C-alpha cells in the first residue's frame, strides 16, 4: 500500500517504539580500544593530534585498562613504542620487548577479565618506519614474514589473546598460523588486517606510534583506495590461510567494503575506525561546529550497520559511557 494508508512516520513518533524496531544496536561488547605503551614509569605523553589519548608506560597502561573495564570495555589493541629501533623490527620479537611486558602486566592484574589483541607489524620498531625488511629500497615480502612470525609467537607466549597482523605482506597469515600451531598455540585466533588501505586517515596514528616512514610511502603493500574487488581477493586469501577474523581499515570511507565483506564471507568482521576519523570529529567539536557525542554515535552506528561485528575505535570509552547512561 502507499500513502495515505501507509505512513512510515507512525513508527517514529514514540521513542520507545523507535528503539523497539531499531535495526542496528551498539553494545560495549562490540568495542576494542587501541592503546599505546611506552618505556618508563609514570609516563603519560599526550598525543597532540588525538585529544584524550596518550603514550602510557606499563604502570599507567594497566590503570587505563582498569578504567576501561569499569565502563564495560573489555578488549584492547596494543601498540608499542620501543626504547630503540633496528633495521628489521627484531626489537619487537623478544621476551622483554615493550608489548610483551605490557601483556604480562595486564594479565597479572586482570587475568581473563580483559581481552588483549596484539598488533603485529614492524613500522613502530624499524629505523626507517616501513613495515618490513628493506632490500634495494623496497620492503622484501618474504624476509619480513620471518620477523612477523617470530614477533607473533613471542606475543602469544606473553599471553596475547588474539594476534593481529597489520603489515599487509603476502602470505603472513599462513606463516603466523604455522608458527603458532607448531608451538602449542593452535587455540590463539588471528585477526588479520585483510583489507588495509593506503589511506590519508592514518596521520595522527603515526605521531602516536612514532611510525612515519622515513622515505617513500606504503602504497606498494597497502591497498589502493580505488579497489573493491581486490579487497575481496585479499580477504579470501587470508581466510584460506587461517584468519579467524578479518578486518577492514579504515572504516568510515570504506563502509561499502565492510558491507561487501559481510555479504560475501561467513566470518566475523572487524572494522578499524582510525585516528584521522577520530581526530576530525574532535577538531570539529573543539571549534563548536558539531555535536561531538551525536556524531560519534552516528559514525559508530553506520559502521555496525554496514556489517562490522567488532569495532576498533579511539572513542570506545566515550561510547561506553554514553551506552551506560541509556
Q: Domains in the chain, please, with CATH?
A: 26-325 (3.20.20.70)
Across the chain, the runs of DSSP E, i.e. the strands, are 31-38, 44-46, 54-57, 75-80, 115-120, 134-135, 138-139, 162-165, 191-196, 245-249, 269-273, 310-313
CA dihedral over 72, 77, 80, 81, signed as positive or negative: negative
Summarised one tens digit per residue, pLDDT across range 110-127 is 999 999 999 998 888 888
| pLDDT given at position 278 | 97
Of 174, 175, 196, 317, the catalytic one is 196
The yes-or-no answer on residue 13 being catalytic is no
Summarised one tens digit per residue, pLDDT across range 218-249 is 778 899 999 999 999 999 999 999 999 999 99
The yes-or-no answer on residue 249 being catalytic is yes
Phi, psi of 123 (to 5 degrees): -65, -35
pLDDT of 54 > 80? The answer is yes
Return the number of other C-beta atoms located less than 10 Å from residue 19's C-beta.
10
- What is the Cα–Cα distance from 62 to 291, expressed in whole angstroms? 31
Of 74, 85, 175, 249, the catalytic one is 249
Burial of 175 (0-12, 13-18, 19+ CB in 10 A): buried
pTM of the model: 0.95
- Summarize the confidence of residues 36-52 as an average pLDDT: 96
- Map grid coordinates 606498494 to a residue: 220
Amino acid at each position: 500500500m502507499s500513502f495515505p494508508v501507509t505512513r512510515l512516520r507512525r513508527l517514529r513518533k514514540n521513542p520507545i517504539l523507535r528503539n523497539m524496531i531499531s535495526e542496528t544496536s551498539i553494545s560495549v561488547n562490540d568495542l576494542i580500544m587501541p592503546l599505546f605503551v611506552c618505556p618508563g614509569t609514570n609516563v603519560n605523553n599526550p598525543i597532540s593530534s588525538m585529544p584524550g589519548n596518550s603514550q602510557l608506560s606499563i604502570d599507567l597502561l594497566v590503570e587505563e585498562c582498569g578504567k576501561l573495564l569499569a565502563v564495560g570495555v573489555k578488549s584492547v589493541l596494543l601498540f608499542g613504542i620501543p626504547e630503540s629501533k633496528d633495521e628489521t623490527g627484531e626489537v619487537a620479537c623478544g621476551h622483554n620487548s615493550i608489548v610483551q611486558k605490557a601483556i604480562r602486566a595486564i594479565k597479572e592484574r586482570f587475568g581473563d577479565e580483559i581481552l588483549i589483541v596484539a598488533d603485529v607489524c614492524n613500522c613502530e620498531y624499524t629505523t626507517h618506519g616501513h613495515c618490513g625488511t628493506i632490500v634495494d629500497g623496497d620492503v622484501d615480502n618474504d624476509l619480513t614474514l620471518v620477523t612477523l612470525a617470530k614477533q607473533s609467537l613471542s606475543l602469544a607466549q606473553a599471553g596475547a589473546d588474539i594476534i593481529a597482523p597489520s603489515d599487509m605482506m603476502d602470505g603472513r597469515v599462513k606463516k603466523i598460523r604455522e608458527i603458532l600451531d607448531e608451538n602449542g598455540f593452535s587455540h590463539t585466533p588471528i585477526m588479520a588486517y585483510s583489507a588495509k588501505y593506503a589511506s590519508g586517515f592514518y596521520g595522527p596514528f603515526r605521531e602516536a606510534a612514532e611510525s612515519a616512514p622515513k622515505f617513500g610511502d606504503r602504497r606498494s603493500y597497502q591497498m589502493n583506495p580505488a579497489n573493491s574487488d581486490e579487497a575481496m581477493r585479499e580477504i579470501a586469501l587470508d581466510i584460506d590461510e587461517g584468519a579467524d577474523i578479518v578486518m577492514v581499515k579504515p572504516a568510515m570511507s570504506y563502509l561499502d567494503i565492510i558491507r561487501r565483506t559481510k555479504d560475501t564471507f561467513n566470518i566475523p568482521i572487524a572494522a578499524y575506525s582510525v585516528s584521522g576519523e577520530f581526530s576530525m570529529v574532535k577538531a570539529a567539536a573543539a571549534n563548536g561546529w558539531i555535536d561531538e557525542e551525536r556524531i560519534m554515535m552516528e559514525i559508530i552506528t553506520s559502521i555496525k550497520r554496514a556489517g562490522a561485528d567488532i569495532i576498533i575505535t579511539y572513542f570506545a570509552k566515550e561510547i561506553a559511557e554514553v551506552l551506560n547512561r541509556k
